[in-house]
């Protein structure tokens, strides 16, 4: 499958500004973007509030050994991939905002995985941490539709 915005030339700052405009257009409150350099791989966290909920998207910085990084000019490829990842977030945010508005869906429904809990973790991060334990007990395994062989 071809990656969205594979060879984009749109700068990350422009994309972040585009996301901010979208959020504000749909009545949200822009909080900002913070980069955590203390992780193995730096991560940008985009945060905003909408419909009484805190929402966070994380964008990992690309590394040279990522499958998307190809070509002779590694620095150019890294910059391009970083921009592409932000354009991907822009598309996701835009489509979910439209879904919430036009289909009259609750913000909690369309941004479920990115909702921030009281612990500061997203619903997805919380579920990921608990999923292994739940699957090993069998209770969740019995409830989920799993593919054959699992």
Residue 58: how many other CB atoms lie within 10 Å:
15
* Helix, strand, coil abundance in the chain, percent, nearest 5: 45, 20, 35
User: Do residues 95 and 85 lie in contact, with contact meaning Cβ atoms separated by under 8 Å?
Assistant: no
Is-above-0.75 flag for pTM?
yes
The predicted-structure confidence for 34-72, as pLDDT tens digits, reads as follows 998 887 778 999 999 999 999 999 999 888 776 666 666
The predicted-structure confidence for 73-122, as pLDDT tens digits, reads as follows 778 878 888 999 999 999 999 999 999 998 888 899 999 999 999 999 89
Q: What fold characterizes domain 12-116? A: TATA-Binding Protein (3.30.310)
DSSP state of 147: P
CATH 3.30.310 residue ranges for the chain: 12-116
Which of the two residues, 30 and 68, has the higher pLDDT score?
30
């Amino acid at each position: 499958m071809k990656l969205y915005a594979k060879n984009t030339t749109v700068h990350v700052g422009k994309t972040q500004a585009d996301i901010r405009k979208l959020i504000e257009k749909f009545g949200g409150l822009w909080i900002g973007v913070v980069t955590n350099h203390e992780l193995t791989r730096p991560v940008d966290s985009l945060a905003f509030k909408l419909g009484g909920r805190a929402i966070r998207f994380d964008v990992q910085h690309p590394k040279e050994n990522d499958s998307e990084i190809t070509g002779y000019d590694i620095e150019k490829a890294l910059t391009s991939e970083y921009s592409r990842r932000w354009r991907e977030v822009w598309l996701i945010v835009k489509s979910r905002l439209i879904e919430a508005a036009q289909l009259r869906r609750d913000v909690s429904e369309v941004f479920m995985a990115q909702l921030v809990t009281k612990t500061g973790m997203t619903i997805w991060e919380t579920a990921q941490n608990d999923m292994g334990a739940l699957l090993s007990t069998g209770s969740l395994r019995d409830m989920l539709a799993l593919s054959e062989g699992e």
